[in-house]
């Protein structure tokens, strides 16, 4: 079950990494990369340590899917919210 939550966290990290890389935020992208390497180290240790356990892979994959969907939905919501701005004349567009 832990790998499910690790999958969720990893996809939030990966989506955030993608966002900061596209915005050319160099230092933040480097920090997120290091965090992602530690997550991958943990995942590989758990899966390689129990290669015959397909349930681990399924739980991790499900967590990754949920994490991707959550983060994509959040960034979509945030982007649509940011489109509603106040103009200099105090009118919303």
The pLDDT tens digits for 26-64 are 999 999 999 999 999 999 999 899 888 999 999 999 999
Residue 85 has pLDDT above 70, yes or no: no
SS3 16: helix
pTM value > 0.85: no
pLDDT of residue 58: 95
* CA nearest neighbour of 6 among 48, 51, 46, 52: 46
């Amino acid at each position: 079950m832990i790998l499910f939550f690790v999958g969720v966290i990893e996809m939030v990290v990966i989506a955030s990494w993608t966002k900061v890389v596209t915005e050319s935020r160099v230092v933040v992208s480097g920090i997120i990369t290091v965090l992602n390497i530690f997550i991958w180290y943990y995942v590989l240790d758990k899966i390689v340590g129990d290669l015959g356990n397909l349930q681990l892979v399924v739980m991790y994959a499900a967590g990754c899917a949920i994490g991707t969907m959550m983060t994509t939905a959040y960034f979509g919501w945030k982007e649509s919210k940011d489109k509603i701005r106040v103009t200099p004349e105090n009118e919303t567009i």
